[in-house]
Amino acid sequence: MITIKNLSHQFEIGKKGSKTIIPVLKDISLTVNKGEIVTVVGRSGSGKSTLLNLVSGFIRPTQGEIVIDGTVVTNLSEAKFADFRINKLGFIFQSFQLIQSMTAYENVELPLVLQGMGEAERKRKTEEMLAKVGLLEYKDHYPGELSGGQQQRVSISRALVVNPPIILADEPTGSLDSETEEELLEFIVQLNEEMGITFLIITHDEQVARMGHRSIELRDGKVLEEEFA
């Protein structure tokens, strides 16, 4: 589902004529197979978040190629990548990234609005997703009225509502207590088994790292080792 070939990325800081080059990722190659849960672990500054942002298309690599579900996304224009993203990728964030002025229902519905889906179909799919995560009765609640675990489940519903084959998660349990974290990890495994969704999860949490089929370690911008669960 995701193939990364000879991927490198660097950031430039400073003004023109006195720029400093900071290499972040260095000639990385890896594959995430269909239906896998793959976790990427590493210390702060190892390049984990940069890797996820490159796969997401939010930044473009200095060199290398990324292929997602058969499409060379590094060749896509910004507009085409935006269309690709909303149809192929779901996102789960540590900070949930819910819109505070929207209800749980409206947050989950939003990707379908952006797709141009009709109101009746949007309602069916949105309520179906909220029911799947056990939050249909909270559909009219705003994020500030929900617990951290409930907010993350709304975030997951929003990621799932467009039926993406791939979900990218950035420290998905980072804002949760240990009990809620365990529930969320079990739910991710359930989604993977029942729906065949492929997960690429960035984490520094050892428990999260162990829940995947494979765990890849990044150190100083390089793939240090790959462990099979």
Q: Which helix (H) or strand (E) holds 113?
A: helix 104-115
pLDDT of residue 149: 87
pLDDT value at 18 more than 80: no
Q: For domain 2-228, say whether CATH 3.40.50.720 is its number.
A: no
Interval 49-74: pLDDT, tens:
899 999 999 999 999 999 999 999 99
Quote the Cα angle for 205-209-211, to 5°: 125
Domain ranges of the chain: 2-228
Structural tokens at position 51: 């890797």
Structural tokens at position 159: 């990621």
Query: How far is it, in rounded angstroms, from Cα 140 to Cα 35?
Result: 33
pTM greater than the 0.85 cutoff: yes
Structural tokens at position 87: 């149809």
Query: How far is it, in rounded angstroms, from Cα 228 to Cα 214?
Result: 4
> Tokens 């390089």 appear where?
222
Count Cβ atoms within 10 A of the Cβ of residue 222 and give its class: 0-12 exposed, 13-18 middle, 19 or more buried.
middle
Interval 184-221: pLDDT, tens:
888 889 889 988 999 999 998 888 888 889 999 998 88
